[in-house]
Structures are given as C-alpha cells and as structure tokens.
Amino acid sequence: MAAAPVVLILGAGPRIGASVAQKFASVGYKVGVVSRKGTDIKSAEGLLSLTADFSKPDSIPALFEAVKAEFHTSPSVVIYNAAALTPPPVKDSLFSIPAESVASDLNINTVSPYVAAQQAVIGWETLPKETKKTFIYTGNIMNVSVVPVPMMLDLAMGKSASASWIGLADTLSTDKGFRFFYADERYEDGKIKGMALDGAAHAEFYAQLATHENVPWNATFVKGKGYVQFKSG
C-alpha cells in the first residue's frame, strides 16, 4: 500500500489555514501545520503542529526536516499562507514606514515562501515520479492592481514579488510534474475580497489545485465556481 501523501501548511490561522488543513486531512493527507503558536507536537488526530517565525527565513528548512522525520516522507503539497504588513506610523504617509519593517515584512511575504519552495523542490526530488507535487501561495489582487492605501505597501510589495517568482517557477517546471500557484480569491465581479476571504472556498480550491487541474499559475478563483479568469486587476 502506498504511503499517505503529506501536506505542509505554513501559516495555520483560524480561517484559511484551519480550513485547508481539515480539507486535506479529509481526503487522506497527513498534515503538518506551522504557526507562531504551534505546539511542536502531534495531536491525537495525527496533525503535526510546528512553531516558526516567518520573518526568519533560515528557520524554514528545519520545518521540512521535522515533517519528514515525523511522517517518513517529504510533503508533496506545500502551502504558504502567512502574510504581514506594517501600518505607516504617520497616518497616510507611505514613506514613514521604517525600512527595517519593510525588510521584515518582505521576509514573511516573499523570502520565506521562496525558501519554502526551495525546500519543497528538494523533497520532491525524493518522491515517486508519478506523485503530483504542488506549491500554493495565498495571494491577492495586488500582483496586478494598485490598491491606493498606504498601509498596504509592504503587503503589496511582497505579493507582487512572490507572484513573479511563482510564475517563473511554474513556467519552467511543468515538464517535471511540479506546479506552482499564486491563489487569489475574488468576488464574482473580479474585485478584491480583502478581509472577506472565505476559508472553506480556499480549502476546496487548494485541494483541486493539488490534483494539477488545468489552471494557470495565476489562479484567480471565486467561491462556488473555482477558477475564473479575469481580464484585468
């Protein structure tokens, strides 16, 4: 009997992260979740909870080592769901955000997910060729549209930068059976969901992406419909 596949979810909040973990567990995956409040133990349900500070990219490799040690295989699905922003200290003043805060937030929004993708690929090379290997990044509209709110500076910079390398990685890796997705939930009219993101909708869509459905890397989706292509941001 083949070993159960493993999913690693970095950024296991109560909405998207929790819903995605539940969904993958329900379809037979062993699940590792990572958050600042992780317990570093495996629950009675078999869910491995790990602790990490995503502002420190060098902490990411140890998470993959811990998952492999616990489940005896590398994760075939890696989901990056963490994000950060710093409000401007001077209201509505874009450039009042300290450079140190910008750098720390970019670590969380861009550098740590990049390191996670590096580690994912290293692990994928050890998995059977027929196994579908998938990296999913929880994005938003900011890679294609300017949201004119100073508070969104760090988040927008990070999402845009990550979309760039995710698109490149997916384009260059499809012949290896690897997929990289920038997942972006929208309203039906294509507008940004903002704080109205739906955890269950993400869970359903991410489970579909893990099967390598015919969806492009810039995976815009709508609750109840799945992938929907929008003409512009």
- Check: CB of residue 21 under 8 Å from CB of residue 90: no
- Let me know if 159 is a catalytic residue: yes
Helices (H), 79-191: 99-106, 112-124, 153-173
Rg of the chain over all Cα atoms, to the nearest angstrom: 17
Catalytic residue among 23, 30, 133, 159: 159
In order of 18, 37, 39, 108, the CA distances from 52 in angstroms are: 16, 8, 10, 11
- Check: CB of residue 92 under 8 Å from CB of residue 85: no
209 CB burial (10 A radius; 0-12, 13-18, 19+): buried
Handedness of CA 89, 92, 98, 101 (dihedral sign): positive
The pairing of beta strand 133-138 with beta strand 178-186 = parallel
Position 224: which residue type?
G
Distance, CA of 160 to CA of 149 (rounded, Å): 15
Catalytic residues, which ones?
Answer: 159
